[in-house]
Amino acid sequence: MAREKIQEREDQRAATPLIGATETRIQISSSMDFKSRVRDWWRNLRLKAFCQHVGLLVALAGYTVLGGMVFRRLEYPAEISRIKNYNRTLTFQRQYLIQTIINNTDLINLDFLISNELDVYEKALQVS
For the chain, percent of residues with pLDDT exceeding 90: 25
pLDDT in tens, 30-76: 556 778 877 777 777 777 777 888 899 999 999 999 999 999 999 99
Which tens digits make up the pLDDT trace of 14-26?
555 555 555 565 5
- Asked if residue 93 lies in contact with residue 72, where contact means CB atoms within 8 angstroms, the answer is no
Please report the pLDDT score of residue 124 as a whole number: 82
Residue of 124, 122, 119 lying closest to 111 (CA atoms): 119
What gap in Å lies between CA 112 and CA 75, rounded to an integer? 42
**Which DSSP symbol is given to 30?**
S
14, exposed or middle or buried, with CB in 10 Å at 0-12, 13-18, 19+?
exposed
Q: Where are the domains of the chain?
A: 34-127
Q: Phi first, then psi: give them for residue 26, nearest 5 degrees.
A: -110, 130
pLDDT reading at 5 higher than 90: no
What are the DSSP calls for 72-87, one per residue?
A: HHHHHHHHHHHHHHHH
Q: Average pLDDT, whole number, for the chain?
A: 80
